[in-house]
Structure 1
Amino acid sequence: MNTPSDVIGRAGVVLRALARAEPQGATTSDIARITNLARPTVHRLLSSLHAEGLVDRDEIGRWLLGAELYLLGTAAGARYDVTAIAQPFVRHLSVATGESAFFSARRGDETICLIREDGSFPIRSHVLSEGTRFPLGVASAGLAILAYLPATEVDDYLARNDLTRTFGPQHAAEAVRERLAKTRQAGYAVNPGLIVEGSWGMGAAVFGVGERPRWALSLTGIEQRFGDTRRAELGKLLLRTAHELTKSLERR
């Protein structure tokens, strides 16, 4: 992860690291390790954010996102929240497939899960839940989004981010590029158990202004339910639903 030199940039990096640690929180040392910032710097930032109510601290000393962030998010919701529009599409996917279905949004170099709907199949994947963040190119939602960004942006992203540090050699740049090419060819992304063994995912991009990928719909489930024939069926359903959601968001 690149380390911003300005105070606001570093505070943003710290807050995003805390968001990934929700709901259990993280220690100062945890945040320093995740962000590549010096521990004293992280402590100063967290102390300042705590004074503003942007972070909180539990009784055992772990840092958590603060109530003030919720209030700020509520104020911004009218402009940015599209979950009310996306919810019926996510529910449709979960009912139609029996799998867990998700709606994720791109935020910088990451995707964040905004909606989760569990299907009727009794065995479920718990890789994703509301608030979970992954770098672009890792989970199926991030693969679907990254695949439809301009080539120069993809090159810049892969040059700046070493995904192998956290997610292993299967996320080396060339391996990610191969999956991106397959995503463009099929129209949808497939994650064949690369995050959690046996837990497969599929994703399709949802587009915003200028036909840029801003969100994604995805499905996760156990490997046995993602055979070749069913993957093709699920892919068609994902693409059709993502297209319909794109049109609904355009009308907003």
Structure 2
Amino acid sequence: MQGTQLIARVAAVLRRVGSGASEGATTAEIAAATGLPRSTAQRVLAALAEEGFVDRDARRGRWFPGPELFLLGSVAAERYDVTSTARDVLRSLAEKTGESAFFSARRGTETVCLAGVEGSFPLRSHVLHEGIRFPLGVASAGLAVLAYLPVEDARDYLGQRGEELAATYGRHHEATPLARRVAATRRRGYAVNPGLIVPGSWGVGAVVFDRAGAPAWALSLTGVESRFNGERTAALGTILLEAAHTLSRRLARR
């Protein structure tokens, strides 16, 4: 690997390590997620470890973000961190609904979960956690963002990624059924994930716009199916849309 290809692969490795949250990731998991041969992934990880960008728990054989990422992230947070603005909105959502509330950011063709607040209801969905990434159209946050992209951009994305999404997340993520969910999201204003990633684990998502009116972030509520069926889904969607509107206005003023 040379030049931009090498940089892209290293970035993919770092993203997979970062999305492992407190569990970290094994070399085999990182290789599978990035499409690298295991030996190549091992060499990239070893080089990153030498520079302090990743750290390996030798006992568990798992990789975690390293101290250099913390230092760089601390500097970048001064310019890019918006989670402090979203925290009280998340707390309010969790208190009002009893469900877990999350804030995600769009990064290219993915969403990454930046922050979450657990709800009071004892049964919870465990699909989302801070640091996890999903392609657009997967999970309620990614579906909400995809639905509010320009129509042609969303159509092109579905045409290019439909087969790949279906292979990874199941046939409900093929281009045609995903396009139907995009259209339904536009009609309702909020997205619904009816247990398509983990059976019985539902989510509702609403897009948060930047000052230019582009879909840059999303709020979502997650929980068990029995708490989301029927009229309550619409009620949760309404609450979420109000919160997303409030947060959009706040972030536009930053």
Q: Which amino acid aligns with 1:187?
A: G
**Aligned mates of 2:62, 2:160 — CA distance in 1:** 30
CA distance in 1, matches of 2:249, 2:236: 20
1:250 is matched with which residue? 252
Secondary structure at the residue paired with 2:103? strand
Alignment match of 2:202 (pick from 179, 200, 203)? 200
How many residue pairs get aligned? The number is 249
Residue of structure 1 in register with 2:172 after alignment: 170
Q: TM-score, normalised by structure 1?
A: 0.93
- TM-aligned CA deviation for residue 8 of structure 1: 1.1
Residue segments in structure 2 that go unaligned for 5+ positions in a row: none
What's the counterpart of residue 25 of structure 2?
A: 26
Per the TM alignment, residue 63 of structure 1 is displaced from its structure 2 partner at its CA by 2.0
Instruction: Report the Cα distance in structure 2 between the residues aligned to 1:219 and 1:65, rounded to whole angstroms.
Output: 27
- How far has the Cα of 1:117 moved from its partner? 1.1
Output the CA distance in 2 between the equivalents of 1:10 and 1:178.
Answer: 33
Cα distance between partner residues in 2 of 1:83 and 1:108: 19
Q: Residue 155 of structure 2 aligns with which residue? A: 155
Structure 1: give runs of 5+ residues left out of the alignment.
none
1:49-107 Cα shifts (integer Å, max 9, x gaps)? 11110011111432221111011000010100011110111111111111111111111
Q: Deviations over 1:101-137 (max 9, x none)?
A: 1111111221111121112222111111211221111
Instruction: Work out the CA distance in 2 between the residues paired with 1:51 and 1:196.
Output: 37
Q: Partners in 1 of 2:117 and 2:174 — Cα distance?
A: 31
Task: Determine the structure 2 residue equivalent to 1:135.
Answer: 135
Q: Where in structure 2 are the equivalents of 1:4-83 lying within 5 Å?
A: 6-60=5-59, 61-83=61-83
2:158–2:179 CA contact under 8 A, matched in 1? no
Read off the aligned partner of 1:12 and give its amino acid letter. A
Give deviations 1:158-178, integer Å, cap 9, x for gaps. 344311222111111111111
- Paired-residue identity, %: 56
**Equivalent residue number for residue 180 of structure 1:** 182
Normalization by structure 2: what TM-score? 0.93
Partner-residue secondary structure (3-state), 1:43: helix
Is contact 2:211-2:251 (8 Å) kept? no
Aligned residue for 1:210, secondary structure, equals coil
Q: Deviations over 1:152-203 (max 9, x none)?
A: 3223333443112221111111111111000000000000011111111000
